[in-house]
A and B are shown apart, each in its own frame.
Chain A
Amino acid sequence: MSDDVDVPLEGDPTGGVAASEALATEAIPEAAVVGVDASTERKQVRKERRQLLLRSPGFLFGFSILVMWVLCAAVPSWFTKWGDNEVVRVDGSVIPRVSPRADAWFGTDKIGNDVFARIIYGARPVLIVAVTAAVLAVAAGTLLGLTVGYFRGWVDEVIGRIIEALLSIPVILLAIMVLTTLGRSQTVIILTIAVLFIPVVTRTVRSAVLAEAQLDYVTSAKLRGENSLFVMTREILPNVTGVAVVELTVRIGYAIFTVATLSFLGLNAGDSSAADWGRDLGKQYDTIQAGQWWAAIFPALAIALLVIGVNLVADSLDRVNKS
């Protein structure tokens, strides 16, 4: 179909509102003003967006997963009686390598830790590192994308080339190099992942900014003498925050993978006995050959579940954003 004006698109949350506002009269606005005032109107739009999200099964599912993991990270003791590093003892004796059963739902690992407790406690480190790194990357990438997209010219050329160069190196390879050189404290891991993600974010935001900068409201702002900082931060930025938020959720997903991969390779923060999904997977996967799959499979499933949850939320946000 064409972009025919007569055809209201299915699921367009704003179309109806704009049209109802069109009741406002054209030539005699004083007469027959029907409608509600602007703030309730805006609330209405937000409400419709929220409803659109809440009606999408993908969002609900993804969001529930996230809530679950965040709760695990915040108050792990609600979910398990064991500490993350506590060796499970039944009647005073250690029980390593037992398969899943009533008193150890996910079984125990080689050392005798409860795998379920390790999973619950493992949510915290991965969430802290991945979310902080993604937030930093998106914040920096947005500012950078805003700058290059707005100024273009040689600024864009130079930064564009640097970004391309960075993007051509595999993230994990670079991260391993940096972490082995600078040591693997939590701060270093966060900063490394953040820096490695900046180019991608910059590229996404840049293209959104390029489209915005073409629009006449930007010309209009320049014509009334606004400086570049104002045009970028006040005029353009609010119009690309939607893109940045979606990018944030997407980056959190990738950051979780990166964190888990690095821990798998032994590059995790904190002491090596602390609960950490990637690390546990790395330490336990050899037991699979011995038929003891649970100690490795459950951490892997935890990673997958978290990433799926994040991606489902990202997709739904993106869709609502675009409609």
Chain B
Amino acid sequence: MTVTEPAGIADRGDPATAALAVQNLELAYEVRGVPREVLRDVTFQIRPGEAFGLVGESGCGKSTTAYAALRYLPDNAVVQGGAVLANGVDILKMSNSQLREFRSTQASMVYQDPVQAMNPALKIGRQVAECYQILGQSKSEAMASAGDALRRVKIADPVRVLDRYPHQLSGGMLQRVVIAMALTGDPKLLVLDEPTTGLDATVEAEVLDLVRELRSETNAAILLIAHNLGVIRSMCDRVGVMYAGRIVEEGNAQVVFDNPEHPYTKGLLNAIPRQGVRKTDRALFTIPGNLPLIGTPLPTCVYVDRCPLADDVCRTQVPPVVPVGEGHWSRCHHIDRLAQITEPDAQITEYDIGTDNVIQLNGVSKTFRQRGHDVPALVSVDLGFHEGETLGLVGESGSGKSTLAKTLLGIHSPDSGGNITLRGREMKSKATDRIAESTRAISMVFQNPDSALNRMWTVRRILKRTLTKLTDVQGAEADRRVEELAEAMRLSPRHLDMRPRQLSGGLKQRVAIARAFAGSPDVVVCDEPTSALDVSVQAAILNLLANLQNDERTSYLFITHDIGVVRYLADRIAVMYLGRIMEIGSTDVMFSEVNHPYTEALLSAVPSVDGEAENRIPLTGEIPSPANPPSGCVFHTRCHRVIEGLCEVTEPEMQEISPGHRIKCHLTIEQLSVPVEIKESATLATLAD
């Protein structure tokens, strides 16, 4: 392979002084003796103090690059060429003891799942102190240093945290501890591999704030891997866009996201529901096809099979590195034709929403019994939705979203007192007691299609069984319907005889959606159906859901963490906190009028790929335990607008602040419109008891 030294890369300074300089790295995984190429000529540099982000779909080589930066590679990894320089020293050539020295003093890594990164059997204190003992401190010195380390990551009460076991801490708190451990020895390079992916948006925002602050404090170089483009934009100076093991575009993060110069970058950005786009405005942009299989020979442009601009040149010649601006380059033959990639036409679709409630929850509560204590997971929820309407349900983990969905579905029985009606008729609380009509009327799309589909069943069997079970359609007629159903989900007939294992994540989710629609349901509960998928696949699934809704006039209860997604798809949004609905209103008013303080904090926590930086309102502390909810307004312990003497005493009533927009808060519109001031103490992480 001819190696062209891209002009943009050469401009970045002497590789010997970079905190990390990956040079023409070629890496393969050997599977059954056959090397399969994973990284192709990866070259980038991170200067001291700089934050560099890598984005791309799963399987594009981001994580491999991150691990390669510290030489944490699996046994079957074969470096086929190139170098990884840290301050001028090639870590690929280091001896084992040099490498250990390098990892303990110069570089460290923060992993995706903090729970797996910690030893569950040892107290936090011992694990953090161990990092200092390795650096030569005595046991007592190390313990003192551990306390300081936790203070540094803004943990309010380090002494108590040190004395706990990992399972006693929340994910956000644990990730802080992991970051504190990564910072021992003041590394010059910090590699963060999806550090906030498993966390709630509010916690994610806190952790990102922390990393940003630590970065300016320590001047460490950062390599950040994230699939969330908003996170990269808000955190990084520079970004590299990876596809099939190759960096296809690199440049200043803001410039790349505002003016992408590679068809892939453009495709990724267009696939995200952003800038307030709604399903009524236009369909989302999708990238046809899938990432090529690892090890597929890709001698020319790696993106050629999915690129809308691809022509014969792309199929025969390696695209050159084209500088397109200050330190910004792209590997594409047709940068001049990028404007030809257009977003889907704006087509105003009127979603026909009925006026009668299909489903109505009246005063539904659900209390779990746990070790002799009552744990109220849902408290007197009133909620109805209309035919053809999407009701978005948002809130942090533990707010009761899933319990609400499961109660509606009949997986949990609600407490006596409340009821759920389907078209005005009360339904039995348990799914198994419900009449056939109620069973058919409500179905579900689960979050994880791997878990939702029986591995041993073929797609055809999954769909046919559901169809024949829920409807009167039988025999050959059912076979025909199954094929129609698959076609409506854009599944090809050959997928019908496959098992879930043989399908990609997006196709599996299509099967799950097909199953949910087999009985022509009135209501489909979607529990984060796209959170396990890449953005390009997510876009296709969201388009599918929107189209199906338009054709079938189905109502959705759409649970999600992703504000962009809910804004795109939902007609109305309900915000839950500790089992209560705190705010409900149409999507338009939720994003234009004043909000409940909780919603306000939630919305401000979202890192936006559009870069509209806003004042983030931190949510102090952790979500309280539902077993012991705060007095008065349940949100008062974390509220930035709390009124002393009122909020902790009296629980507010739902008040209608505009037609259809209701909030559960004591404050008036005028009071809610005043901008908030954020206290320093609010940025500390405190333990929940």
- Residue ranges of A at the interface with B (Cβ–Cβ < 8 Å): 1-2, 4-8, 10-12, 14, 16-33, 35, 37-39, 41-42, 215-217, 219-220, 222-226, 235, 238-239
Contact = CB atoms under 8 A, between A and B. Distances in A.
B22 to A, nearest CB: 16
B504 interface: yes
Given A6-B59, A24-B495, A27-B540, A223 B444 contact: yes
A197 B457 CA distance: 31
Given A11-B32, A25-B290, 17 more contacts: A6-B58, A6-B60, A7-B29, A8-B294, A12-B31, A18-B501, A18-B503, A23-B289, A33-B494, A38-B458, A217-B451, A219-B446, A223-B442, A224-B443, A224-B470, A238-B456, A239-B454
A223 B443 contact: yes
Contacts of A4: 63-64, 67
B286 interface: yes
Interface of B: 29-32, 36, 38, 58-64, 67, 72, 74-77, 111-113, 116, 193, 286-294, 305, 409-411, 431-432, 434, 436, 439, 442-444, 446, 448, 451-458, 466, 469-470, 490-492, 494-499, 501-504, 506-507, 515, 519, 536-537, 540
Contacts of A235: 454, 457
A14 B31 CA distance: 12
B431 A223 contact: yes
A14 B64 CA distance: 21
A16 B67 contact: no
B502 A21 contact: yes
A37 B446 CA distance: 27
Contacts of B31: 8, 10-12, 16
B290 A7 contact: no
A321 to B, nearest CB: 13
Contacts of A26: 286-290, 504, 506-507, 536-537, 540
A20 B293 contact: yes
A37 B458 CA distance: 13
B288 A39 contact: no
13 contacts: A5-B58, A6-B61, A10-B32, A21-B498, A23-B289, A23-B290, A24-B492, A24-B503, A29-B490, A216-B452, A223-B410, A223-B431, A223-B439
Closest 4 CB pairs of A and B: A38-B497, A238-B456, A22-B504, A216-B452
Nearest to A14: B501
A322 to B, nearest CB: 14
Contact of A6 (B62, B290, B411, B503): B62
B293 A19 contact: yes
B74 A220 contact: no
Contact of A21 (B451, B503, B536): B503
Nearest to B505: A22
A23 B492 CA distance: 13
Contacts of B59: 5-6
B492 to A, nearest CB: 5
B71 to A, nearest CB: 12
Contacts of B452: 215-217, 220
Contacts of B519: 224
A10 B286 contact: no
A222 to B, nearest CB: 6
A117 B394 CA distance: 77
B157 to A, nearest CB: 30
A74 to B, nearest CB: 34
Given A21-B498, A24-B290, A216-B446, A6 B63 contact: yes
A30 B61 contact: no
Nearest to A239: B456
